[in-house]
């Protein structure tokens, strides 16, 4: 499914790239847009700080999208390093590539199609893997983490940021509560609340 057009062209974008490029801000006021962008910058800076990037390192931004992490990482690993942006959306990677303006003493950027369960890189080939909001979408999170560590060199580092979805946490808590109550005593929410009032 396609929607939207890329900045400066009439080319259609896939749904994911369209959301990253415009959808996140669609319908928002200027104040709301600035707030979201400040929040994203804080998350980006935290992930990069925790990655402890050094000049000359080879870095992977897994689930790079339009390059929130990758573009800033280029500045931190300098011209002697390298950054690989991996994403399943060719349109998002195209936007990442478009934003990667040539500059003095920044790492080259390679944009590579792939996903978290099959990173298209050799084993033990990178110093750092960074990811933001990727594992949350994987049914098999352990396989994703194993794949992430597969590409890391010995003593390599991973900086992972994953949101905690409030609704899924509430569901987990409800499931834990139900597991603690014998099945014969489980009742619906209204019945439990009714008993609490008596």
pLDDT higher at 11 or 142: 142
Q: Which residues contact 136 (CB under 8 A, 6 or more apart)?
A: 162, 163, 165
Structure tokens of 1? Answer: 């499914």
The model's pLDDT over 33-88, given as tens digits with 9 standing for 90+, comes to 899 889 999 999 999 999 999 999 999 999 999 999 999 999 999 999 999 999 99
Q: Which domains does the chain have, with CATH numbers?
A: 2-161 (3.40.50.150), 166-197 (no CATH)
pLDDT of 112 above 60: yes
CA distances from 52 to 18, 58, 130, 141, 147 (A): 31, 12, 11, 24, 21
Quick one: 27 exposed, middle or buried, by C-beta within 10 A (0-12, 13-18, 19+)?
A: exposed
């Amino acid at each position: 499914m396609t929607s939207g057009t890329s900045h400066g062209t009439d080319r259609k974008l896939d749904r994911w790239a369209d959301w990253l490029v415009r959808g996140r801000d669609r319908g928002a006021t200027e104040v709301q847009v600035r707030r979201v962008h400040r929040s994203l910058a804080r998350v980006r800076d935290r992930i990069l700080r925790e990655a402890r990037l050094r000049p000359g390192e080879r870095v992977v931004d897994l689930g790079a999208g339009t390059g929130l992490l990758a573009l800033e990482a280029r500045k931190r690993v300098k011209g002697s390093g390298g950054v690989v942006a991996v994403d399943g959306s060719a349109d998002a990677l195209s936007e990442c590539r478009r934003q990667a303006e040539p500059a003095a003493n920044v790492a080259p950027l390679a944009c590579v199609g792939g996903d978290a369960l099959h990173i298209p890189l050799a084993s033990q080939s990178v110093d750092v893997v960074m990811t933001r909001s990727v594992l949350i979408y994987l049914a098999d999170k352990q396989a994703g983490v194993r794949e992430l560590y597969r590409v890391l060199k010995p003593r390599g580092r991973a900086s992972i940021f994953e949101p905690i979805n409030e609704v899924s946490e509430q569901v987990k808590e409800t499931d834990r509560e139900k597991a603690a109550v014998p099945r014969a005593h489980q009742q619906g929410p209204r019945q439990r609340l009714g008993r609490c009032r008596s």
